[in-house]
Every structure is written in structure tokens, then in C-alpha cells.
Amino acid sequence: MPLYFFRISTGRYSGAADQPYEFEDRAAAWTEMTEVCANLLGGIARNLKPNANWRMELLDENKRPVFRISLVGETQPLPNRID
């Protein structure tokens, strides 16, 4: 079975798990990744700052990205007011 690693990045911080996970195939890996991400996102979103981003990636056994899920907090400039 293929080996995968999780990596989480936020701002300038990025860290990959040292422990590999085995999944039957890419579909099973995607399913697990979305479940793990869903469990984390509530806490992440509550603490996300404007113009910040958070990313979870699933890496293959050579530590190359296979899947990526991103959460981005974007602010838009205020419109110019003409009085």
C-alpha cells in the first residue's frame, strides 16, 4: 500500500508528519484527508487572522504534494467614498 504524509502550513510555518500513513489508494487517501481537515477547520477558522492562510497537504512517499486543501482569510479594500 502507498505511504503518505500530512503537512500543515500556516504563514511561514510548515511541518510534515514524520510518521507515514498507509492508504489503499488515492481515493482512500483523499477521504481520510478531508475527514482530518474537517475535524480541524472549526478551530482553525475561529483563530484565522485577516490576510492569513492555512493549508493541509497530503504528500506521497517522496514527500511530493498529492492533494492540497487551503483556507484563506482575505480582506477587501474599502470602496472610495465621494461625498
Distance between CA atoms of residues 35 and 73, nearest Å: 21
pLDDT at 80: 77
Walk along the chain (83 residues) in steps of 10 and give the mean pLDDT of each run: 90 80 94 93 86 91 93 84 69
Domain residue ranges in the chain: 3-73
Confidence (pLDDT) at 83: 63
Between CA 58 and CA 18 the distance in angstroms is: 13
Are 32 and 69 in contact by the 8 Å Cβ rule? The answer is no
What's the pLDDT score for residue 5?
93
pTM of whole model > 0.95?
no
